[in-house]
Amino acid sequence: MFDPDTAPPGPPPALVDAQRGSFTRNILITGYWPPTNEMLRSWSRNASQNPSGWQGGNWEGRGYDIHSYFPEFPGGTGINPKGNGDFEVDYQDTAADWARIVEEVRPVAIITFSRANTTAGWELEPAAQRFRLPGETQNIGRTVPTYTGDYQGNRYPSDVPIAAEPLGRVRESTLPMQDIVSAVRAGIPAGQIDPFIANYDPDNLANGYDFGGGFLSGYISYLGLWYQNEHSAPDSVFRTVAAGHIHVGRLMATPIAEQATAITLRTLIDTVNSRIPGPGGLAVASALGAALGTTRRRREPADHRPGD
Residue of higher predicted confidence among 16 and 107: 107
Which residue has better confidence, 256 or 12? 256
DSSP 227-246: HHHHT-STT-BT---EEEEE
Q: Tell me the C-alpha distance between 70 and 257, whole Å.
A: 15
Instruction: Average the pLDDT over 91-115 and give the result.
Output: 98
Query: What's residue 271's pLDDT?
Result: 97
Q: What pLDDT does 306 receive?
A: 26
Length of the chain: 308
| pLDDT tens digits for range 279-295 | 434 455 544 332 223 23
Closest listed residue to residue 58, CA positions, set 43, 38, 36, 41: 43
Note the pLDDT of residue 81: 97
Instruction: Please tell me the predicted confidence (pLDDT) of residue 284.
Output: 58
**Quick one: angle between helices 91-105 and 216-230, nearest 10?**
30
Q: Answer yes or no: are the C-beta atoms of 61 and 145 closer than 8 Å.
A: no
Q: What is the pLDDT of residues 42-80, one digit of tens each?
A: 999 999 999 999 999 999 999 999 999 999 999 999 999
Across 18-144, the runs of DSSP E, i.e. the strands, are 26-30, 65-69, 71-72, 84-85, 109-116, 121-125, 127-129
The rounded distance, in Å, linking the Cα atoms of 90 and 164 is 19
Query: Is the bond leading into 161 cis (omega within 30 degrees of zero)?
Result: yes
For 234-272, write each residue's pLDDT tens digit. 999 999 999 999 999 999 999 999 999 999 999 999 999
Between CA 246 and CA 149 the distance in angstroms is 21
Confidence check: pLDDT of 303 > 50: no
**Mean pLDDT (whole number) for 189-197:** 96
Whether omega before 166 lies within 30 degrees of 0, making that bond cis, reads: no
- 112 three-state secondary structure: strand
Identify the CA nearest to 116 among candidates 248, 222, 256, 302: 248
Residue 12 banded pLDDT, cuts 50, 70, 90:
low
- Looking at residue 206, what is its pLDDT? 82
pLDDT at position 285 is 55
Q: Tell the CATH superfamily of the 27-278 domain.
A: Peptidase C15, pyroglutamyl peptidase I-like (3.40.630.20)
Alpha-carbon distance of 272 to 58, in angstroms, equals 15
Cα dihedral sign, 170-108-252-181: positive
What percent of the chain has a predicted confidence (pLDDT) above 70? 83
3-class SS at 121? strand
Higher pLDDT, 185 or 280: 185
Strands 71-72 and 121-125: unpaired
- Whether residue 18 is predicted with pLDDT greater than 80 in this model: the reply is no
| pTM strictly above 0.85 | yes
More confident residue, 169 or 279: 169
Higher-confidence residue of 75 and 149: namely 149
Ranked by mean pLDDT, which of 4-8, 176-180, 281-285 comes out on top? Answer: 176-180
Higher pLDDT, 203 or 5: 203
Mean pLDDT, all residues of the chain = 87
